[in-house]
Chains A and B, each alone.
Chain A
Amino acid sequence: AQKVTQAQTEISVVEKEDVTLDCVYETRDTTYYLFWYKQPPSGELVFLIRRNSFDEQNEISGRYSWNFQKSTSSFNFTITASQVVDSAVYFCALIVGIPWYNNAGNMLTFGGGTRLMVKP
């Protein structure tokens, strides 16, 4: 069975600080997909990024960057120069297997989430 662990339950930073959210995953499959979602105070879940197990390239999107390391089974998320609007709960999630062969409907397994509070 697969598992996603987000050891940091809450992080508090001051605006403009950099912050890294940790995500560690467990799976025996060699093919899998990792995701990050943001849940702002309004409650909806917003997709941020998808990464598949064959692509270990780091990715940068504006102030956001992701570091995928298969050797440590980690998929960490860094926000550079944090802003108050970044305050939210962030979830890391995992799908295993090859989706189009998987009749189980591509089930996402979520970590427990990290609540990020950015203070002005």
Chain B
Amino acid sequence: NAGVTQTPKFQVLKTGQSMTLQCAQDMNHNSMYWYRQDPGMGLRLIYYSASEGTTDKGEVPNGYNVSRLNKREFSLRLESAAPSQTSVYFCASSERQALRMGYTFGSGTRLTVV
């Protein structure tokens, strides 16, 4: 099925470890996003990529890096994980000129940092 695919679905890290969250979309969308979801705070934007070859910081970028590998893929890296990064991470994509459906979201990655 067409959509946004995130891997892994679950991950437990020790403080200081690094990891990369993968995201791929097959809808030929220009824009991709990484959000984190914390209780009572909704979803907050970490980084986004308006188009292939560009990335920009969102509301909460500290402690993260991203790579827009190509039009399909947008990865999020935690270089040195901290307990404050325990969260559910969502990748999303959108077609810039067609907001009929808003964003299309992946199923999320539940990350726990101990």
Contact = CB atoms under 8 A, between A and B. Distances in A.
Contacts of B105: 44-45
A107 B102 contact: no
B107 interface: yes
B88 interface: yes
Interface in A1-48: 4, 6, 9, 33, 35, 37, 43-45, 47
A91 B31 CA distance: 21
Interface centre among A50, A99, A104, A107 (most CB of B within 10 A): A107
Interface of B: 30-31, 33, 35, 40-45, 48-51, 56, 58, 88, 90, 92, 94, 96-97, 99-105, 107-108
B32 to A, nearest CB: 8
Given A99-B96, A106-B94, A43 B33 contact: no
A108 B31 contact: no
Interface residues of A, number: 28
A43 B97 contact: no
Contact of B50 (A6, A103, A110): A103
A6 B35 CA distance: 19
A30 B102 CA distance: 19
A26 to B, nearest CB: 14
A47 B108 CA distance: 15
B40 A112 contact: yes
A105 B41 contact: no
A105 B90 contact: no
Given A95-B102, A106-B31, 10 more contacts: A33-B99, A35-B102, A44-B107, A44-B108, A47-B101, A50-B100, A104-B48, A105-B56, A110-B42, A112-B41
A23 B7 CA distance: 32
24 contacts: A4-B42, A9-B40, A33-B99, A37-B102, A44-B105, A45-B105, A47-B102, A50-B102, A91-B43, A100-B96, A102-B96, A103-B50, A104-B50, A105-B30, A105-B96, A106-B96, A107-B45, A108-B33, A108-B102, A109-B45, A110-B35, A110-B42, A110-B43, A110-B44
